[in-house]
Structure 1
Amino acid sequence: MSTDNLIKMANQIAQYFASEPDQQQAVLGVRNHLQLFWTPGMRKELLAWQTEHQGADLHPLAQAAVSGAGWEA
């Protein structure tokens, strides 16, 4: 899958959780979704992109979910 598609999907997931008033819960929601529904290869590709580009195109919740503690690529 292309990195552009992964970024688009991660941003859509983050946008869904953006309505959560507790930001920590929103980040956990994004992180849990990525862990449960994305393949390890998809997570590794997004993490590599995030590391290289500092998440320039990622929603802030997606950035926090990918770079936060507990992330398993």
Structure 2
Amino acid sequence: MSSESLIKMANQIAQYFASEPDHAQAVNGVRQHMKNFWTPAMRRQLSAWQTEHPGAVLHPLVLAALTETTEGAV
């Protein structure tokens, strides 16, 4: 899958959870959705892309979820 598609999907997931008033729950919602519905390869590809392009076009909730994921949360 292309990185552009993964970025678009990840940002859409984050937009959904952005209305959650508790930031930690919103981050957990994004992380859990990606864990439940994305393949490990998709998560690795998005994490690798983010590492190569820090601060680019990813929603802050996605960035937080990826950080937790790479620190062993998944």
Shorter-chain TM-score above 0.5: yes
**Aligned counterpart, 2:31:** 31
> Structure 1 length as normaliser, TM-score?
0.92
**Aligned counterpart, 2:72:** 70
- Structure 1 residue ranges, 4+ long, deviating more than 6 angstroms after superposition: none
Structure 2 segments unaligned to the other structure (5+ residues): none
Higher helix share: 2
What is the alpha-carbon distance in structure 1 between the residues aligned to residue 37 and residue 55 of structure 2? 21
Aligned residues: 72
Structure 1 segments unaligned to the other structure (5+ residues): none
Query: How many percent of aligned residue pairs carry the same amino acid?
Result: 67
Contact in 2 for aligned 1:49/1:55 (Cα 8 Å): no
